[in-house]
Structure 1
Amino acid sequence: MTGPFRLLRWCLLAFAAAMIPAAAQACTLCSCTASTTALSFGSYSPVTASPTDASASVSINCTGLVSLFGLVEIRASAGTSGTALQRTMEHNGSTLRYNLFANSARTEVLADGTGGTTTITTPLNGLLFFSTVAPVYARVPASQWVASGTYGDTVIITVQY
């Protein structure tokens, strides 16, 4: 779409490569890696009555002596807005509201589990190898009149195991 309603691409721009071991060891003598897929809302039009939805995923792979009863927790930073409940993307001084969610209904805001937010928790089930992919859901609310352009934010994803 061109003109004043052309928009807007956003990607998860940052990913915390730090895999933080949990207090209770879920992974003994193991090594884990994590990665994210890009999150892009594509084109957004403020005249559309429905929100613009997108999704991405966090992939986690561990090798070594992995616990059969451990947990992996995925958290998301608040982004540049500083508050996870009111995330914004920016472009040349304009802001566009959006958020990240832990569920497909987009009712559970993904962050650090405090202040009305939640985390994604998945079982760590494996002996010598563990792999999982966790979806992350996103939404830009409808009817936001903003300047056209490419909007972006930086969100840090942290995986605790």
Structure 2
Amino acid sequence: MRTMNAKDAVAASLAECFVTIDGRRYNFMQAINLEANFKKTKAKVPILGKPGQGNKSTGWEGSGKATFHYNSSVFRKLFYNFKETGEDIYFDIQVTNEDPASSVGRQTVILKDCNLNGGVLAKFSASDDYLQESIDFTFEDFEMPETFKNLAGM
């Protein structure tokens, strides 16, 4: 029986995160975590002769959440611009995972047309060691220019 080698678990902190807004690319090294999710939308399908209903995929939705160190005004500037002009800005987030100890190589996912649901405008804490902020977002498309290799034995 083959099993996975422990070295092939991808280290959680060995990632890169870039955000591209209006053609300007930012290295979001202040990211603490990010998770993007793909959810299929489905319709119930009644089927004659069966007591239950079937499920048919009809589309998908993309959403995500991220936590950052509270030390950048990039997203707050987007909120301010929206407040002042009503112009909603869409942007891309690129995430690459690569652990040199693992044999799986690297994976890059680009989340396209991301849009923030909201966020922190101002913050302080007299008791925390450092400040962080969380955001929720949606995205409308994605690309995978690099994918992990299959593990030996798969």
Class of the TM-score when normalised by the shorter of the 2 chains: 0.3 to 0.5
More strand by proportion, 1 or 2? 2
Larger Rg: 2
Provide the TM-score with structure 2 as the length reference.
0.33
TM-score normalized by the length of structure 1: 0.32
Q: Which has the higher contact order (CA 8 A, sep 6+)?
A: 1
